[in-house]
Structure 1
Amino acid sequence: MGYGRTILASFLVLLCTGLFYIFSVFIPLPLNTDKEVAIRRGLSYDETLTLLKRKGLIRDGVILSFLGRVLNLDGRIKSGYYRFSGSVTPFKVLSNLVKGRVEEVSVTIPEGFNLWQIAKRLDDSGIIAENSFFSLAYDRGFLNSLGIEAPSLEGYLFPDTYRFPKGASGEYVIREMVENMRRQFNKEMHGRAEAIGLSEREVLTLASIIEKETGVDDERPVISAVFHNRLRRGMPLQADPTTVYGVKDQSAGITLKDLKRKSAYNTYQIKGLPAGPIASPGLKSIRAALFPADVPYLYFVSESNGRHYFSITESEHRRAVQRFRAKRHISVKRPRPLVVNR
C-alpha cells in the first residue's frame, strides 16, 4: 500500500511539474524596456529559442523545444525584426515569429516625387540607403526583371503610404512599389492605352509630365488634351518640367539656358515624349493621360494662382502670355521663345 502511494505521489509531482512547465509558456514576462530581436534567415528553431532566452523573452527553451517538435515549427519561423514591449507571454512571442508579425517602417511617397526625392525619403526613413537605391534604379538587369523598358525606375514607384518590414532588402521594397503601380494601372487602363496607341512607359511618361504641370484635378484632363493634340500634329510638347529633369528642382525656375539644354528629356529639343517619366504620377494623372478632355487647345499659360489659361492658336496664346506677364509686372527686355506653360 505504501509503495503504491509513493508511486502515485511521484506521478502527481511529475504531472504538476509538467503542467507547470507547459502552462509557464502562457505566464506573462514583464519587460522593463522594449525588446527588439532580429531573426536571421536560415536560423534553426533551437537557435531561435537560444536567442530569445538571451534576450529575456522566454524563461526556458526546454518546453518550447518540445512543443516545437510536436507542432513541427522548425522551418516555420519567419525572419525579420520583431519588437516586444509591456507584458508578453513566451507563447505570444513564438506565435508572432511563426506568423511573421515583424516590426514595420512606414513611409509616404507624395505624388510628383522624382527618384532623388524618393531616394532621400527612403533613406531618411531607414528603409534603403541612397547609394543602394540608385545602384538598383538604373540596373538594366533588375529593370528587365520588373518588365520596365524605361531608362530607370522613374515613374514606376507608385506614390502611396507603405509599411515595409524593418530590414527588408532594397529589391523587396522596390518590387512592392512597382507592383503597387501595376495594381493601380489595371487591366481596363491597359486596354485603353492599347486603344490609343500608347505603351505603359508612354502613359507613365505623359502622366508624369501632367503631374508636374498642375496640382488642380479638373485641369489634368485638359492639360493632357493639349499634349495629345500636339503629339498628333507632330508639335514639340514644350513642357517646362522636362527641361530641368535630373538637373535641378523645378521650383528654382526655368531659364533660357534650360530650354536650350540638349537632353533626351527636354521636350523643347526633341519631338514626341521624353525617354521616360520625369516623376511618379498619381492615379488621377495616369487616368488623365489615358482619357484626355475633348478640347482643341494647343497652348496653356500659368495664371500664377495654380490654374492655367488655355488657348487654341499661337496668337491667342501670345496675347495671354503678355497679359499674365503684365499682371505679374514682369518686364521683358527681349523676345523669349514660345513656351507652353508661361
Structure 2
Amino acid sequence: MISFAIILLFLVLLMNYSTSSIDKRNVNVIVDIPTGYSFFKVTEILNQAGLVKNRVFFYSLAIVKRAVRSIRAGEYEFNTSLTPAAMIDKLLHGEIKIHKVIIREDLSMREIAAVLDKEKLINKENFFEVATDEEFLKSLGIEADSVEGYLFPDTYFFDRSMSTRQIMKIMVSQFWKKVTPGMIKRAGEMKLDIHKFVTFASIIGKESGDDAEKPMISAVFHNRLRKRMRLQSDPTAVYDLDSFEGKVLRSHLRRKSPYNTYVIKGLPPGPIANPGVASLKAVLYPAPVNYLYFVSKKDGSHFFSASLAEHKRAINRYRYINNELIQQLKVQEPK
C-alpha cells in the first residue's frame, strides 16, 4: 500500500513537472547534440545548459514518452518557457535550428565562405579543400578546377549538422536548375562553352550591381573581344590577391596574373564570382550599342563611351581629373 502511494505521488509530481515551464525568464538557449549521443548523455548536456533542473524527472518523463533512444545530432534552440514535455517532443522530432542564409548575387567563392563561416556552418580551410576536390567537382558536373562560379546566389536554409559537401551540392544543384538548356544553347551559338559563359557573367556581375546596366556592360566586353582588345576589367586585376583593401591601383593593373584582363587577352581561365540570372542573361543578350569603355559615376552607375577620347573626358567629368586614373589610361591601351 505504501509502495503504491509512493508510485502515485511520483506520477503526480512527474505530471506536474512535465507541464511546468523550465524557467519563466523566456530566454533562448542553444545546445549542440553530438552524433551518436545516448539520451542519457543528451540529458547531461541539457542539465549543464540549465535546461534540465531535475535529471531524474526528465529522464523518467522521456521513458514514459518512449524517447529514450538516439537523438538526431545538431544544434537545438530551446526557449526556457517550454515545458519539459515540449522539449522532449522537439528532440524526438529532430527539430534542429535552421539558419536562413542569403547569398547575394556576384559574390566570390571567398566572400561566400565568409558568409557561411559567420553562421558557423563551415570550416573555411575545409571549404576551400572541398571546393577544389577534382572528384567532387566531377560529381557535380563541373569541368573546372574549382566550384567558383557555380555556387548559385539565393536564399538557403542550412543547419550546422550539414557537411560542406552537402551545402555546396545544394547550391550547385540550384545553379543547374537556373541555367536552362536554352541558355546553354544560346551560349554555344556565341561560341561560349558553359565555363566561359559563367566566367563572362562573373566579370559583368563584379563590374555592376545594377541589373538594368548589365546588358550595357556586356556589350562593352563583347565589342572589345570582337576588336581583339583586352577586356581591362578592374575586378579581374585583384581577384586572386591574398588581400585587397578596396582601391584598385596602377600596380594592380600591371601585375602578372592569369586573371588580370589588363595583361591577358580574352577571358580569364575561370570565373571571378558566382553570377546570378541577371549577369548570366546579360552575356547572352548584350545591349545593341557600340560602346568600348565605361567609367563609374558618383552614384555607382556608369557612363559609357565609344571612343578613348570620349572616355578620357568622362573620367575628367566624373572623377575630378583623378591623376591615378589618367595614369591608368596608359595601361588601358597597350601597344
Give the aligned CA root-mean-square deviation in angstroms.
Answer: 3.7
Aligned pair partner of 2:148 in 127, 151, 154: 154
In structure 2, C-alpha distance between the alignment counterparts of 1:200 and 1:282, rounded to whole Å: 14
| Rg larger for | 1
Once the two structures are TM-superposed, the CA of residue 318 in structure 1 deviates from its matched residue by 1.2
Change (3 A) 1:137 1:188: same
Output aligned runs, 1:134-283, within 5 Å. Answer: 134-166=128-160, 168-186=162-180, 188-232=182-226, 234-247=228-241, 249=244, 251-255=246-250, 257-283=251-277
Change (3 A) 1:329 1:170: same
In structure 2, C-alpha distance between the alignment counterparts of 1:236 and 1:310, rounded to whole Å: 17
Query: What amino acid maps onto 1:27 in structure 2?
Result: T
Once the two structures are TM-superposed, the CA of residue 80 in structure 1 deviates from its matched residue by 0.3
More divergent stretch after superposition (167-176 vs 299-308)? 167-176
Provide TM-score, normalisation by structure 1. Answer: 0.76
1:89 corresponding residue in structure 2? 83
In structure 2, C-alpha distance between the alignment counterparts of 1:116 and 1:194, rounded to whole Å: 29
Change (3 A) 1:323 1:169: same
Output aligned runs, 1:270-309, within 5 Å. Answer: 270-293=264-287, 295-305=288-298, 306-309=300-303
Q: Does 1:30 align with 2:22?
A: yes
Once the two structures are TM-superposed, the CA of residue 303 in structure 1 deviates from its matched residue by 4.7
Deviations 1:83-116 (A, max 9, x none): 2122222332222223332124444443333233
Change (3 A) 1:38 1:203: same
Once the two structures are TM-superposed, the CA of residue 20 in structure 1 deviates from its matched residue by 4.4
User: Secondary structure, in 3 states, of the residue corresponding to 1:60?
Assistant: helix
Once the two structures are TM-superposed, the CA of residue 19 in structure 1 deviates from its matched residue by 6.9
Deviations 1:16-62 (A, max 9, x none): 67974885685133236644332222334565456556764462323
Q: Is the 8 A contact 1:105 1:164 kept in 2?
A: yes
Q: Is the 8 A contact 2:30 2:76 kept in 1?
A: yes
2:314 corresponding residue in structure 1? 324
More divergent stretch after superposition (283-292 vs 52-61)? 52-61
Deviations 1:156-198 (A, max 9, x none): 2333444432354333333333334334334554454455443
Change (3 A) 1:30 1:246: same
Once the two structures are TM-superposed, the CA of residue 302 in structure 1 deviates from its matched residue by 0.6
Once the two structures are TM-superposed, the CA of residue 299 in structure 1 deviates from its matched residue by 0.5
Q: Is the 8 A contact 1:44 1:74 kept in 2?
A: yes
Query: What amino acid maps onto 2:295 in structure 1?
Result: S
Q: Is the 8 A contact 1:302 1:308 kept in 2?
A: yes
Unaligned runs of 5+ in 2: none
1:43 corresponding residue in structure 2? 37
1:3 corresponding residue in structure 2? none
2:59 corresponding residue in structure 1? 61
In structure 2, C-alpha distance between the alignment counterparts of 1:25 and 1:153, rounded to whole Å: 52
Provide TM-score, normalisation by structure 2. Answer: 0.77
Q: Is the 8 A contact 1:230 1:236 kept in 2?
A: yes
Q: Count how many residue pairs are aligned between Structure 1 and Structure 2.
A: 322
1:122 corresponding residue in structure 2? 116
In structure 1, C-alpha distance between the alignment counterparts of 2:296 and 2:310, rounded to whole Å: 9
In structure 2, C-alpha distance between the alignment counterparts of 1:203 and 1:99, rounded to whole Å: 44
User: Secondary structure, in 3 states, of the residue corresponding to 1:82?
Assistant: strand
Deviations 1:133-152 (A, max 9, x none): 33333333333333332332
Q: Does 1:102 align with 2:100?
A: no
Change (3 A) 1:67 1:308: closer
In structure 1, C-alpha distance between the alignment counterparts of 2:214 and 2:35, rounded to whole Å: 46
Q: Is the 8 A contact 1:26 1:91 kept in 2?
A: yes
In structure 2, C-alpha distance between the alignment counterparts of 1:48 and 1:280, rounded to whole Å: 40
Query: What amino acid maps onto 1:329 in structure 2?
Result: I
Q: Does 1:112 align with 2:106?
A: yes
Query: What amino acid maps onto 1:304 in structure 2?
Result: K
Once the two structures are TM-superposed, the CA of residue 284 in structure 1 deviates from its matched residue by 1.7
In structure 2, C-alpha distance between the alignment counterparts of 1:24 and 1:199, rounded to whole Å: 67
Unaligned runs of 5+ in 1: 1-5
Once the two structures are TM-superposed, the CA of residue 210 in structure 1 deviates from its matched residue by 0.5
In structure 2, C-alpha distance between the alignment counterparts of 1:176 and 1:276, rounded to whole Å: 21
Q: Is the 8 A contact 2:293 2:308 kept in 1?
A: no
